[in-house]
Amino acid sequence: MSKIVSTKDNLQILHEDNHIIVVNKRVGDIVQGDKTGDKPLSDVVKEYIKEKYNKPGEVFLGVVHRLDRPTTGLVVFARTSKALTRLNEMFSNRATQKTYWAVVKNKPPKAEDTLVHFLKRNPQNNTSKAHLKEVPDSKKASLDYTIIKTLDNYFVLEINLHTGRHHQIRAQLAAIGCPIKGDLKYGFDRSNPDGGIHLHARKLVITHPVTKETLVLTAPTPNDAIWNAM
């Protein structure tokens, strides 16, 4: 299965107005430029805006938050500096509701639970390890999960994040013996054909930075057999 990356012509746009643009990220997309030198989603969105609105010169686009490269789902970008400042505040103050879906092979110990760990990041291999007790340089991480569907060989969990830590969902689920499908980095036994993992940023509830209305944004899941069984 070859990986489809987003281009200005195939962008999956979930919401667009003068102040923000919300995109459904594909597996291969990288939100912001990094050492790989691959074109980031932020540049693709800029190209899309430039062409669609026939904008001369540089297009302003602010990156508000990121998703790990192998994950999919909702990403919000700011189209004005005012929107960027307000969205940054909202995200850093946790004034947003983020819901993720994850597919795991092993059944979690409970049908629903709150997980609290202390995550310590390892920059050498770009992972985070979940500890039950606080260790030096660790950060508290908390989430709720619920099993929302049982498939033939997998369980689908709905996750609500209370904190936003590096690889938080991946590390916390691995810590309870439930690594996410395809996530070799956190102990799953096989990679996915497209190199992604079955973790999807499904829903986001935010206050619009300018109009102040409540936006409830939902991202369709990728087209594959397991997600389609949802």
Q: What are the pLDDT digits (tens) for 173-194?
A: 999 999 999 999 999 999 999 9
Length of the chain counted residue by residue: 230
- Helix, strand and coil percent figures for the chain, each rounded to 5: 15, 35, 50
Reported as a pLDDT band with limits 50, 70 and 90, residue 37 is confident
Strands (DSSP E) along the chain, which ranges? 13-16, 20-25, 62-63, 72-78, 97-104, 112-122, 127-131, 139-150, 155-161, 199-207, 214-218
Reported as a single tens digit per residue, the pLDDT across 102-152 is 999 999 999 999 999 999 999 999 999 999 999 999 999 999 999 999 999
80 pLDDT above the threshold of 50:
yes
Percentage of the chain surpassing pLDDT 90? 92
Q: Summarize the confidence of residues 2-23 as an average pLDDT.
A: 93
**pLDDT at residue 1 tops 50:** no
Q: How far are the Cα atoms of 64, 89, 125, 223 from residue 144, in angstroms, in the given order?
A: 23, 23, 27, 26
Q: How far from 177 is each of 19, 42, 72, 108, CA to CA, in Å?
A: 42, 35, 22, 7
Distance set, CA 62 to CA 88, 105, 225 (Å)? 10, 37, 34
Task: Say whether pLDDT at 2 is over 70.
Answer: no
Task: Tell me the average pLDDT of the chain.
Answer: 95
pLDDT exceeds 60 at position 18: yes
160 compared with 94, residue with greater pLDDT: 160
Whether 49 shows a pLDDT value over 50: the answer reads yes
Tell me what percent of the residues of the chain surpass a pLDDT of 70.
99
pLDDT in tens, 54-75: 998 999 999 999 999 999 999 9
Q: What is the average pLDDT across 21-46?
A: 92
Residue 69 is predicted with a pLDDT of: 92
Is pTM beyond 0.85? Reply is yes
C-alpha radius of gyration, the chain, whole number: 18
Q: Rounded mean pLDDT of 22-33?
A: 93
| Average of per-residue pLDDT across 76-100 | 95
